Amino acid sequence: MRIFEIILLIISTIFPFYISTKGYQLNKKFPLVIISGVIILHFIFEGYRWQMIPSYLIILILIWCLYKEHPFFNGGWIRKIVSGIAFIILLLFGWGLPYILPVFNLPTPTGTYSVGSQYIHLKTNQDEYMTSEIGDKRELMVKVWYPAIIDDKKTEFYLNEGDRVSFALKHGLPKTTFNYLDNVKTHTYDSPSVAKGEFPVLIFSHGSYSQASGYYALIEEIVSQGYIVLNINHTYESTGTLFPNGEIKLFNSEYDRKHNNQKMAEMVWNAMQNYNKATTPEEQYMAVHDLILNYYGAELTERYSKDISLVIDELKKWNTSTFLAQHLDTTKIGVFGHSQGGAAAGQALLDDNRIIAGVNVDGMQWGEMIDTKMTKPFALISSEWDSSHPNLNVHAYHNGSSSDFYNAKILNSGHSNFMDIPLMINLPFINEAGTINPNKAYKVTTKIVLQFFDMYLLDKPSNLLELANKYPELEIKLIKKNQ
């Protein structure tokens, strides 16, 4: 919470009792000046947000009581009890809402470059497989994060309208629920010039039904170190995609229900029954082989991978005729993603020979990986899954790699610790984060990602395994080539 919000909450908590004591000699000018001054400063320097409404109501009642020279808790015992209960409820919401949904601080990037962003609307000739409209073609919005030259540009708002509105609708909330995020200060500038030079390209793929660009804590740091990140919004797969004409295309729940159906549920049930009965790793592998290969997640993985290749197809054109002209090093392309996007990163390495290396951040590797092997440098970064959560990736990567394969785990982390969610929602049992400090999780993750791509895209000598000595939260091992 911010400083004036805290002061307002303290006033809301203490003053009702203060002006209700018998010894209090009503002098309304002094308290009125204090309360009015604080709330004015709050609105000027911090701005209104709906989480503070319970506190605003208490403040208004306080001002009225001071003006009328009435104790806050006035009347007989029944009235005092009723007003006391109402006050406690307001106070609980007053303290709880700003704490649970804070105006948070993003970690400050540590690299030498400032960060800028612009959007590219990619129209393709590929049929749109997720709608029933005849002639509908696949369109993607790509957020380009890049090292920038700053010339009195303003930083962008945190999350665009599509991310905010769709995230609210996903949880059954009013569309304006996340407007308070205007108060969150990003380190990304809106449409500045690209810094001089060519930069390696990293393509980032988000998780299924998640905010496509809700990864500021990771991406800002990576870009500040000298990478261009192409943040794909997989249309109908994210919470929502905002297009230049203002249209927001939401997650296609109808398509999801149709394909992620009862047949898929039965497949999972049968596979896990056999998996739990298995007594050896070989039996476990056989129990889940068909599940990993054929479950709905494999279809998503393949779709995401195709989108990644569609973006790569455009790089040479973008490198000559857009704001990115002469800034993309198209010989140095890496891919990384989170959750379903992480699985897509692994699949894209198999599908597209233009990609040199990739990182899967806490994604289950559904699809054909189980029947092949990795042939390019790859890193799997996992959260610390609960012991009841079967680690199917052990079997998905059963055939190993003919290149370097890193397997990393960030201790005490949860699935959302790689997104901005733990900052947005400060309640672990809702945000699915672990007990690790969110900023520590971001720091360890970006260190792994950056050192990995520095090694395999830029040929910088490094030893990823040494990070475990620096960060006790990290477990990492290298599976050597041909093992």
The 10s digit of each residue's pLDDT in 187-201 is 999 999 999 999 999
More confident residue, 418 or 30: 418
CA–CA dist 127, 110 (Å, integer): 42
pLDDT band at 34 (very low <50, low <70, confident <90, very high): confident
The answer on pLDDT for 273 being more than 60 is yes
* Whether the predicted pLDDT of 437 surpasses 80: yes
Distance from C-alpha of 371 to C-alpha of 367, rounded to nearest angstrom: 9
> How far apart, in Å, do the first and last CA atoms of the chain sit?
51
Cα–Cα distance for residue pair 474/211, rounded to 1 Å: 26
The predicted model gives 50-77 an average pLDDT of 83
Between CA 470 and CA 444 the distance in angstroms is 10
- DSSP state at residue 137: E
Whether 204 shows a pLDDT value over 70: the answer reads yes
Q: Mind listing the pLDDT tens digit for each residue in 164-188? A: 999 999 999 999 999 999 999 999 9
User: What is the mean pLDDT of the segment spanning 353-368?
Assistant: 97
pLDDT at 340 over 90: yes
Is the confidence at residue 483, as pLDDT, over 70?
Answer: no
Q: Does pTM top 0.85 for this prediction?
A: yes
Q: Which pair of structure tokens corresponds to residue 206?
A: 């988000």
Q: Where are the alpha helices (DSSP H) in 101-244?
A: 161-170, 216-224
In this predicted structure, the answer to whether residue 295 has a pLDDT above a threshold of 50 is: yes
Angle in degrees, CA 171, 173, 178, rounded to 5: 100
Closest CA to 58 of 21, 9, 123: 9
Q: What percent of the chain has pLDDT over 70?
A: 97
- Residue recorded with tokens 């002469």: 326
- How many angstroms separate the CA atoms of 80 and 71, rounded? 11
Under 8 Å between Cβ of 141 and 117: no
pLDDT (0 to 100) of residue 23: 47
What local confidence, expressed as pLDDT, does residue 73 receive?
75
What are the φ/ψ torsions at residue 117 (nearest 5 degrees)?
Answer: -150, 150
Write down the pLDDT at residue 84: 84
When pLDDT is averaged across residues 418-445 and rounded to a whole number, the result is: 93
Instruction: Give mean pLDDT, residues 39-47.
Output: 91
Over residues 122-132, mean pLDDT: 91
Q: What is the pLDDT of residues 249-267, one digit of tens each?
A: 999 999 999 999 999 999 9
In the structure, what pLDDT confidence band is assigned to residue 429 with cuts at 50, 70 and 90?
A: confident
105 contact partners, CB below 8 Å, separation of at least 6: 184, 185, 423
- At residue 19, the 3 state secondary structure works out as coil
The SS3 call for residue 348 is helix
Structural domains of the chain ordered from first start: 3-100 (no CATH), 114-479 (3.40.50.1820)
Angle CA 362–367–369, to nearest 5: 80
- Residue among 153, 252, 147, 152 nearest 194 (CA): 147
| Per-residue pLDDT at 26 | 54
Q: Where is 421: in which H helix or E strand?
A: helix 421-424
* Cβ neighbourhood burial of 448 (10 Å; 0-12, 13-18, 19+): buried
Mean pLDDT of the chain: 92
- Examine the pLDDT at 272 and tell me if it is beyond 50: yes
pLDDT class for 24, splitting at 50, 70, 90?
Answer: low
